[in-house]
Amino acid sequence: MPELPEVETVRRQLEISILHKRIVSIEIRNKTSLRQSVALFTKKISGGNFESIDRIGKLLELKLNNGSILLVHLKMTGQLLYLENKQKLNIDKHTHVLINFSDSSILAFRDIRKFGYLSVVSAEELRKTEDNYGIDPLRKNFTREAFLQAFQKKKKSLKALLLDQKLIAGIGNIYADEICHISGLVPDSLVPGLSEKQLNTLFDSCLEIINKAVRYKGTTFRDYVSPDGMKGNFAYELKVYGREGKNCLSCKNGIITKITHAGRGTHFCGVCQK
DNA sequence: CTTTCTGTTAGAAA
DNA sequence: ATTTCTAACAGAAA
């Protein structure tokens, strides 16, 4: 579910709620949410505290004072929730991991579909993991030159490339469709057929959509909430995603079409996107 | 009731 | 080597 803007919203909220709190205990209610054994996971983070929180693409990196890094990927339905002690009533059967802090607050990992995971890694392992990711729109290396270069010699469709985390890190199904829309390009057009000008427009659109969605604290289409339980407001700004059969808000003439492309539901206006 | 769809991506298959 | 498809899972919608 969460794409870059949602994960960034989670990161920012955790940054102001859990840093420098001592981890006093850990409860694993579903061990398949961990990438390693319960014993090893517990040993590596017990007694520590989080010093900083970073993110690449949709992956959260919670840096501990002992040098380890807790990686969290939310996949489709994962949530990281910050709970005060009195909010323990919110803990349900989908809440798989609880990290208890010395002030009685809790960082809870909840995940209905159980695709998400937590993994404690070393600095070296983190470096290798980051090697699998392309440029992140909120990092300094997301330049026009790097963007154009990432698309060089690729024969896939526009949408397939936008979704490829090895090229651009953080864009998912919702934002890929929105980016194509404001670029005036149909998602299934082949990238080798795009002009230099169109690729430049695409670069601008990526930054425009991602930055706006971050300002709106992400999109809640179904399950997503930030650590304080709040929904994202970008759902009200969506122009094509989830709007099949409705009129195009941009050109006022077309009707939003939905097709399956690159294995995903794909939405666009056939009138103002070419 | 059954079938289809869903914001992700690792790994298999082609 | 590169691109496409499927499985992992749970639940809502059709």
Q: Output the distance from A71 CA to C8 C1' rounded to whole Å.
A: 19
Catalytic, out of A12, A114, A212, A264: A264
DSSP per residue, A243-254: -TTSBPTTTSS-
How far is residue A253's CA from residue A43's CA, in Å, rounded to a whole number? 60
Burial string for A169-201 (b: 16+ CB within 10 Å, else e) reads bbbbbbbbbbbbbbbbbbbebebeebeeebbeb
Confirm whether A2 is a catalytic residue. Answer: yes
8 Å CB contact between A100 and A88: no
Query: What one-character DSSP code corresponds to residue A210?
Result: H
What pLDDT, on a 0 to 100 scale, did the predictor assign at position A153?
A: 79
Residues 65-104 of A with CB under 7 A from strand C: 75, 93-94
Give the CA-to-C1' distance from A254 to C8 in angstroms: 38
Note the residue count of chain A.
274
Task: Tokens for A106, please give them.
Answer: 């809790």
Pick from A110, A9, A103: nearest CA to A55: A9
Distance, CA of A35 to CA of A203 (rounded, Å) = 35
Cβ within 7 Å of strand C: which of A 193-222?
Answer: none
Q: Which of A11, A58, A110, A243 is catalytic?
A: A58
Under 8 Å CB-to-CB from A153, ≥6 apart: which residues? none
Decide: CB of A115 under 7 A of nucleic strand C. Answer: yes
Number of neighbouring beta carbons within 10 Å of residue A27: 15
Per the annotation, the verdict on A243 as an active-site residue is no
Positions on chain C within 7 A of a protein C-beta? 2-6, 8-11
Nucleotide nearest to A262 (CA to C1'): C4
Distance A239 CA to B9 C1' (A): 26
Query: Is there a catalytic annotation at residue A113?
Result: no
Model pLDDT, residue A152: 83
**Is A159 within 8 Å of A188 (Cβ atoms)?**
yes
What pLDDT score was predicted for residue A148? 93
pLDDT tens across the length of chain A (274 residues): 699 999 999 999 999 999 999 999 999 999 999 999 999 999 999 999 999 999 999 999 999 999 999 999 999 999 999 999 878 878 999 999 999 999 999 999 999 999 999 999 999 999 999 999 999 999 999 999 999 999 887 888 999 999 999 999 999 999 999 999 999 999 999 998 899 999 999 999 999 999 999 999 999 998 899 999 999 999 999 999 999 999 999 998 999 999 999 989 999 999 999 9
Instruction: Give the model's pLDDT for residue A241.
Output: 95
Residue A6 and residue A116: Cα distance in Å, rounded? 15
